[in-house]
Amino acid sequence: MRIDSVGIIVNVKKADAAEVAARLVGRIEAAGKTPLLPEDTAALLGRPELQRDAASVARDSDFIIALGGDGTLLHAARLIGDHERPILGINIGGLGFLTEVPAAEAVDALDSVLAGNFRIEERMMLDVELLRDGHSLCVHRALNDAVITKGALARVLNLEVRVNGEYLISYVSDGLIIATPTGSTAYSLSAGGPIVSPGTKSIILTPICPHTLTNRPIILPDNSAVTVEIQSESEYMMLTIDGQVGIPLGIADRLRVSRSEKRARLIICSGLSYFGVLRKKLDWGGRSRYRHDKSAPV
């Protein structure tokens, strides 16, 4: 991959954001490359000469660094749109399944990418279309999930789900998460959904607090066309895409969800496999590795 320009998307609210971003910009410039910064990042670093509008950062960068938490990487993926620029995620947030490189290793990771020592993982995304009265209101793309939720004081939702036109189930619940395998470790996991390897071609339906115990998460083939119709009349209902976009919903609104032709491209240079990331982030292992060794202390 030829690299001339590097975009940097930063969560400017993070405490260490300015320090880490400044080190990255310095290393990019020292390598003879051009850093491209959106307005808030350029202002944070006091580098107005590097400022570009968001569209230019997405279009003109050879790859993009997302510095923050997973939300920052999701924001970067949304900004990139159809350009499919690779993203290097650097974590100065919390758990960080997508931004797996810790801030302390940010410059080393950048050096690895500039030297060509990396691989790219392609991640499935979803196209999410909202229809009202038979008309398309909007179409969004999701790397993690599309989520239908109710307000804190609103009544439970009745959501009719069809797959490839065939009636599947009516969820009576507080909402529904439609996730990619990448999104299986996000909200879906918190709601009791399964962990699904990113290489698995699937779409995951996870009800939020279902009011019937038999309403369980379902894993569908990735070529499924999922339709969800809102059959509840509630004071407050919302569709959220990757936690980035919120759209109010009404009764009889319909959601059409399918696999996108576009892919997110994540730069991997840590040497960890997906399962290695799971073990690290979820703290699997530890003392449990001694369970079958009777001579080891417990």
Half-sphere exposure (CA, 13 Å, Cβ side) for 287?
A: 2
Q: Residue 141 and residue 123: Cα distance in Å, rounded? A: 13
Both structure tokens of 96? 């960080």
CA angle 205/208/210 to nearest 5° reads 100
Among the listed residues 141, 143, 44, 127, the one whose alpha carbon sits nearest the alpha carbon of residue 87: 143
Name the active-site residue from 70, 145, 174, 253.
70
Catalytic (active site) residue 53: no
- DSSP calls for 204-269: EEEEES-SSTT---EEEETT--EEEEE----S-EEEEETTTEEEE--TT-EEEEEEEEEEEEEEE-
Instruction: Say how far apart CA 182 and CA 105 lie, in whole Å.
Output: 23
* CA dist., res. 28 & res. 156, Å (int): 51
Strand partners, 122: 265
Which sequence positions are flagged as catalytic? 70
